[in-house]
Structure 1
Amino acid sequence: MPDVVSEKSFLPAGGGAYSLPSLTLGIFLNDQPAHRISQGSDRALHSPLKRHQGWLLPAGSEGVCEYDEDLEFVTVTLNDRLLDEFGVSAGTDFQAIIGDIDPVLLSISLNALTFAEGGNLYRETMSRALAAQVVQLIKPEPASHAGIEDRRLRRVLDYIHDNLAEDLTLAAMADLAAMSGTHFSKAFKKEIGISPLQYVIGARLDLASVLLQTTRYSVSEIAWRVGYQDVSRFSQHFKRRFGTTPASYRQQ
């Protein structure tokens, strides 16, 4: 089975039972105001979905999906071995996402049907970009942070990734960790291996690299979306990390 399997389907109004052996994303291509869905039971609850909304369900999910109008949709299934590369074991449970889909994940997923057309390197790169975005959303404990025992520090990591476009401050992070700024900085570097500032810069640039490859946002808009008000500074940091400018990176 390929790392990512994407299929576009059309079904008449109705619905029925579903069973998902692997982690799967579904994206509706038309509005379904009367959509109903259940998980682990036969009692479907009203969950209206619009075009480009959908669901992200863990492996092993079972239930009922019903809709009163013809349905056009895309499903994207991730192979267990691909998720394993990101430290997510097969069958990892998480809170199902039903409704809005993260815009980066949505953009990558809608293009998944054409992954193979770009050759093996493109397909492998895009499949891993998709998996990385899914892993960030379901928020398992990252393998690289497995040694973090303090829940307060894990809470800070979630806060950072959820607010990369914002003006993050050391004071806000320290408050979340219930520490003074000095003690927090030392504890963070001891557990993560780099300073909070270095971590934030790395996270912002990693997200920027995904946006450059999967969206049509301009370089200045991507800079803004990952927390840089100064495009020149963003470009300097990006080139330092990836060895090329954002514009050249997009063309690779």
Structure 2
Amino acid sequence: MAKRSLTPLVDPSEFLDERLTLYPAALTSKGSAWDGIIAVEQRRKPACILESPALLTHFVGIRIGPPGGVVQKRDGRIHRGYETVGDIVIMPAGLPGEWCIEDATDGLHLSLAPVLLERVALQNELANPDTLQLVDCFQVRDAVIEHIGLALRAELATSGGADRLLGEALATALALRLIRRYSTARTSVSDYLGGLSKRRLRRVIDYIDAHLEEPLRLSELAGQAGLSPYHFCRLFKQATGITPHQCVIRRRVERAKRLLQQPEATIADVAFRCGFSSQSHLSRHFRQLVGVAPRTFQTH
């Protein structure tokens, strides 16, 4: 993957919307060593109506207080639910929202700068950072996110968030979870331990066959499977036993065998029509896979 310049992390705590923080925070990470990594706040919210403009950060809300009814409205959608302890809201940056909180409760608010998710996605080859988007979620259960949030709250309560390394580790773990489960890159490698699914593998093979005469790039094939080049190579080999490059060569040689059986076919023309750079390029791979030279194959 080509190297990409990374924007320095900014302080998410600067972007906590005032209309979401009208009520005193029992705990806050603002001013702690976590500034620039993740903003964490615990707040008591009475029964009320809240509006939030489009935030500059991704927002994760975890209900930690008494259960109660909540009506949420975002992006033209309305969700009415009865939330219990552990229910989670995920709101992407740039998306305004409205809440009608029917019963007083305590919430844990986590805010992450989008550049943190982009950096984690790039470093772990999970998605294209330029197109990565979180999925808006009204009410989900996720034990991993809940445990990360509670660990952040516990560290904040005991040490004031002074341990920057722990904050970085937990923020990175949260970013990984959001990318893998609640984003446009939510399909993770763990979902394909046996290799590519048959449907995805068929899509890749069909793409190869349709573009054999062209210079095929690994990024193009990976894009057909919806994976990073690194993960695509691993899963493709798990599924087929060969690398993507070896597969392309074999498909080109198979097409060459069919074309060589046609009357008046020349080896140079067949090489061109199968995507080989030259006649000698075709001959070398043809001998390796078929055992004879193209001309010998053609005359028998």
Partner of 2:194: 169
Equivalent residue runs for 1:43-192 within 5 Å: 44-86=78-120, 87=122, 93-113=133-153, 114=155, 117=161, 119-141=163-185, 158=187, 160-161=189-190, 163=191, 168-170=193-195, 173-178=197-202, 191-192=229-230
Contact 2:56-2:113 at 8 Å conserved across structures: no
Over 3 Å counting, the alpha-carbon distance change for 1:36 and 1:55 in structure 2 is same
Long gaps (5+) in structure 1: 142-156, 201-252
- The answer to whether 1:10 aligns with 2:44 is yes
- Separation (CA, whole Å) in 2 of partners of 1:7 and 1:118: 15
Listed one character per residue, the Cα deviations across residues 204-245 of structure 1 (whole Å, up to 9, x for unaligned) are xxxxxxxxxxxxxxxxxxxxxxxxxxxxxxxxxxxxxxxxxx
C-alpha displacement of 1:118: 6.2
Partner of 1:237: none
Over 3 Å counting, the alpha-carbon distance change for 1:199 and 1:100 in structure 2 is farther
Over 3 Å counting, the alpha-carbon distance change for 1:108 and 1:198 in structure 2 is farther
- Separation (CA, whole Å) in 1 of partners of 2:189 and 2:177: 15
Contact 1:35-1:46 at 8 Å conserved across structures: yes
Contact 1:13-1:68 at 8 Å conserved across structures: yes
- Separation (CA, whole Å) in 2 of partners of 1:79 and 1:63: 18
Equivalent position SS for 1:108: helix
Greater C-alpha radius of gyration: 2
Match of 1:34, as an amino acid? G
Contact 2:132-2:183 at 8 Å conserved across structures: no
C-alpha displacement of 1:159: 6.3
- Separation (CA, whole Å) in 2 of partners of 1:40 and 1:190: 29
Equivalent residue runs for 1:216-227 within 5 Å: none
Listed one character per residue, the Cα deviations across residues 89-119 of structure 1 (whole Å, up to 9, x for unaligned) are 6996433112223221221122223266462
Please give the root-mean-square deviation of Cα atoms over the aligned residues, in Å: 3.8
Over 3 Å counting, the alpha-carbon distance change for 1:21 and 1:32 in structure 2 is farther
Listed one character per residue, the Cα deviations across residues 56-112 of structure 1 (whole Å, up to 9, x for unaligned) are 010122121012211210000002332231247699643311222322122112222
Identity over aligned pairs, percent: 14
